[in-house]
Amino acid sequence: MKLPEGGPACDAVPMRRRDVLNGKHMWVYIEDLPRQVGQEVTLRGWLYNKRSSGKIHFLLVRDGTGLCQCVASKADVGDGAFAAADHMGQETSLEVTGIVREDKRAPGGFELTVKSIKQVAPSTDYPITPKEHGVAFLLDQRHLWVRSSRQHAILRIRSEVAQACRDFFSERGFVLFDAPILTPTSCEGTTNLFELEYFEGRKAYLTQSGQLYAEAGALAFGKVYCFGPTFRAEKSKTRRHLTEFWMVEPEAAYFNLDDDMALAEDFVSYIVRRVLERRAPELKALERDVSKLGPSCATPYPRITYDEAIERLKAAGAAINWGDDFGGDEETILSSQFDRPVMVHRYPSACKAFYMKQDPARPDVALCVDMLAPEGHGEIIGGGQREDDYETLRGKILAHDLPLAPFEWYLDLRRYGSVPHAGFGMGIERLTGWLCGIHHIRECIPFPRMMERLEP
Amino acid sequence: MKLPEGGPACDAVPMRRRDVLNGKHMWVYIEDLPRQVGQEVTLRGWLYNKRSSGKIHFLLVRDGTGLCQCVASKADVGDGAFAAADHMGQETSLEVTGIVREDKRAPGGFELTVKSIKQVAPSTDYPITPKEHGVAFLLDQRHLWVRSSRQHAILRIRSEVAQACRDFFSERGFVLFDAPILTPTSCEGTTNLFELEYFEGRKAYLTQSGQLYAEAGALAFGKVYCFGPTFRAEKSKTRRHLTEFWMVEPEAAYFNLDDDMALAEDFVSYIVRRVLERRAPELKALERDVSKLGPSCATPYPRITYDEAIERLKAAGAAINWGDDFGGDEETILSSQFDRPVMVHRYPSACKAFYMKQDPARPDVALCVDMLAPEGHGEIIGGGQREDDYETLRGKILAHDLPLAPFEWYLDLRRYGSVPHAGFGMGIERLTGWLCGIHHIRECIPFPRMMERLEP
């Protein structure tokens, strides 16, 4: 079938500029100013900052895509408009029309010589001022705080990370296979689960991971990923915990642990490279030392066994024994020994979930992997090869004191044409936190949810 | 900074083929067979169907990326392997090695002349057979049902739709601004809300829409979108309702209703074109009459006012009066009058939510739009321009008997630099249903959740 003309082609140059405004000026976004030098354009945005020197206002305008200094002289804009601009508070919405000039000293490299200013709506006593505010206050004002340049940079990087995740899997033929949020039972017990009433008194739980469902998808589509919000009702107040966070979880049939690690390092290095390439201004705004991220663009990443990790930890003076799981301190010691993420594989089976496959060569360890980000950011990925033998998996469910009935469908995946398969999960707020060099991941999601925070 | 070599470039040719298998044969996905004609390759998949003619087995193998007929003669594979294949049930997992041949008569256009067959794991009495099954049974077996060719096609189209949505907005500079799932209050009353216990006895609710949060995002970033699961605890059992479904919601500052409609038609036409271009085999598998979709690739889409819609309905004999909202029957009558989606704008304000802006020229109607898909598929988009005046919005919240306190942050968006803004929401299962020509949207999501269905 020949498709009709007239629609936007899939590969069309993205429209970023709006059409003529009132038949006179072009409305442009600040990020498009480099293509408008010498033209008369209109910006539509908000007043971010302002200084004046007698007969000139320097209005720093933001429009969500960037900042632009707008230079307004009393002579050009007229006495009335000039005086009105005098009284505009921070975050006043306004339209500014003028000529685009290149100026290397200006923020962003371009400025506007203003011809006219029109206030859209006022803003008086904007609560977030350039002075320091406490975090609790800022979180209360999260709907406004996201306008600040630092939050702006973090969330634009988060957006890039999310799109990079999807592009990576889409380009590689992984099918998006969204797992349900409402689940009838818990994967691993009901601790840390949010429970709700479904219909007619039934209980439902918010998902902690889409993995089990993604496994069904992998056996149907070969390669799938799910990517959605996941929930932990943990009574935990660390800098690395949110009760609601987004996790991307690929799962592939006929993948073993080695394949899984190769996929994980390709994936993370792809994202790091893309953020460095496309979000340099945001990283700069965050004063991120990007030289620390450069090595993480290249693969392979170092791989060490849990056994070797224990030796390294002991050599570094940590009080740890074989069989112990790692906490934040151990992760920090290990990850500080490498210039890029390190993959620690083959943890003791006892540390890991029931669905992890034991190493046939050594049943006391699981065919699992954690990836630890450098600079003390700790675990960003957890995954591994899944138990694919029916009897073994059934035995493990029973050994973990879990009921069989809710796992019958999951056991079916081993009853009917079981195959080796593997996957992993990556929390995107943690990854964003590492890339941004942010200490607390509460800043890495638009509206963080924590134990004590459900608002706004 | 110069980035190191060695990682996967952002624009690298996607890896779709695995490396050498056991040092001998190449593992390839069926979708990559066209590039392997004459080569010896290994497929890894599942037995989809089988027929035999004495000394030849015709094994139809699926691997998630396609179907391939594998022709195994007793002479080539040996008596033992040939006899073993005789007993393989549907969905047996297996590796098949052989030479790729082009054959226009074969499903997919290629077949394998088999050299060896290796069973990975058995499958006996697979519950979904080629005979007809009831829908309730199939939904109980959803984890296996997704392997069927029809479900496969639908969910691959859903995956394409989701990625097309994200690419559309990403290419146009919209920032992904995920709205929270856990919310402290309801947008519009607690009917149809799932309620859960947060910490220390607090109540939380599952979001019905990310719109209010997206508005905060639009005023910070200019153009944003959120795209996540949304929830409706409706006691409704229609073919167009799920209790959990995915919705994409763009929101843009300085957009009015006309801008919003232009964005919506660009968006939908982009998705339709992309699915027609990239998912033709899946549409064919569904026996979808694609000539019905062609016109929807082209813009503009017809736009009619609610007033005109009422006249059209009356002319068609519907018992409806000005002021009534439309149900499925009215939508079907209207949408059947056009060959592509129709946008109905300016409904009575009384039909719409409190945050919809009234038309200044005519306050009894709202600056809102619904887009109705053709062929009786009904509403796929709802949106409009938001009330941006502080006093008017506050008055409407009170007039709707809603408490002010939970909306203070939302009112802040009008207190501090309010601007005209607009957006819309599109449910992707409904869109997928229309594109696939599927009657009930429960087939348009991997694991549907409905009133009576929370499993598997």
Class of domain A140-444: alpha beta
Q: Give the count of beta carbons closer than 10 Å to the beta carbon of residue A105.
A: 7
Residue A144 has its nearest CB partner, among B173, B259, B412, at B412
DSSP state, residue B292: G
Q: C-alpha angle with apex A188: A187 to A190, nearest 5 degrees?
A: 95
Query: Looking at beta carbons, which residues of chain A come within 8 Å of B15?
Result: 172, 266
Instruction: Provide the pLDDT for residue B235.
Output: 87
Could you tell me how many CB contacts below 8 A there are between chain A and chain B?
342
Better-scored residue on pLDDT, A239 or B252: B252
What's the whole-number mean pLDDT along residues B260-264? 97
Q: Give how far B315 is from chain A: nearest CA, Å.
A: 31
DSSP-derived 3-state class of residue A125: coil
Give the pLDDT confidence score for residue A24 in this predicted structure.
Answer: 58
| Nearest chain A CA: its distance from B147 CA (Å) | 5
**Nearest chain B Cα distance for residue A65, angstroms:** 6
Reply yes or no on whether the pLDDT at A11 is more than 50: no
Domain with CATH 3.30.930.10 in chain A: 140-444
Minimum CA–CA partner of B227 in chain A: A228
Q: Which long-range contacts (CB under 8 A, 24 or more apart) does A285-290 make?
A: A285/A149, A285/A150, A285/A152, A285/A153, A286/A150, A286/A153, A286/A154, A286/A436, A286/A437, A286/A438, A288/A435, A288/A436, A288/A437, A289/A437, A290/B1
Q: Are A10 and B166 an interchain contact pair (Cβ–Cβ within 8 Å)?
A: no
Closest-CA residue of B relative to A294 is: B3
Tell me chain A's radius of gyration from C-alpha atoms.
26
pLDDT in tens, A336-345: 999 999 999 9
Specify the pLDDT at position B407: 94
pLDDT in tens, B148-164: 999 999 999 999 999 99
**CB-CB: which of B92, B213, B253 is closest to A64?**
B253
User: What residues of A are in contact with residue B211 (Cβ under 8 Å)?
Assistant: none
For residue A22, name the pLDDT band (cuts at 50, 70, 90): very low
Predicted TM-score (pTM) of this structure: 0.95
* Substitution target from A44, A91, A140, A176 for chain B, most B beta carbons within 10 A: A176
Question: CB neighbours (10 Å) of residue A195?
Answer: 14
Burial label, B103 (beta-carbon count in 10 A; 0-12, 13-18, 19+): middle
Residue B119 burial (C-beta neighbours within 10 Å; 0-12, 13-18, 19+): middle
CATH class of B17-121: mainly beta
Backbone angles phi, psi at B257, to 5 degrees: -60, -40
Q: Which of B4, B416, B454 sits opposite A126 (nearest CB)?
A: B416
Q: Is the pLDDT of residue B169 over 90?
A: yes
**ipTM of the prediction:** 0.94
pLDDT tens digits, residue range B317-342? 999 999 999 998 999 999 999 999 99
* Closest residue in B to A166 (Cα–Cα): B163
List of chain A residues whose C-beta atoms are within 8 Å of the C-beta of residue B244: 180-182
Q: In this structure, what DSSP letter does residue A397 have?
A: H
C-alpha distance from A101 to closest chain B C-alpha (Å): 23
Q: How far apart (Å, rounded) are the C-alpha atoms in residues B421 and A378?
A: 41
Residue A364, pLDDT > 70, answer: yes
Across the interface, whether the CB atoms of A447 and B159 are under 8 A apart is answered no
Please indicate whether, in this complex, the C-beta atoms of B298 and A244 are within 8 angstroms of each other: no
Residue predicted with more confidence, B16 or A348: A348
Residues of chain B with CATH 2.40.50.140: 17-121
Chain B residues whose CB is inside 8 A of the A284 CB are none
Contact between B1 and A290 (Cβ < 8 Å): yes
Provide the 3-class DSSP secondary structure of residue B67: strand
Q: Which residue of chain A is at minimal alpha-carbon distance from B228? A: A228
A32: distance to nearest CA of chain B, Å? 11
What's the CA gap between B78 and A237, in Å, rounded? 64
Inspect the interface and report whether the beta carbons of B170 and A155 lie closer than 8 Å: no
**pLDDT exceeds 60 at position B6:** no
More confident residue, B356 or B234: B356
| Mutation to test the B interface, candidates A60, A143, A241, A435, most B Cβ within 10 Å | A143
Whether B147 and A16 lie within 8 Å, measured CB to CB: no
Are A244 and B172 inside 8 Å of each other by CB? no
- With a cut of 60, say whether residue B15 has pLDDT above it: no
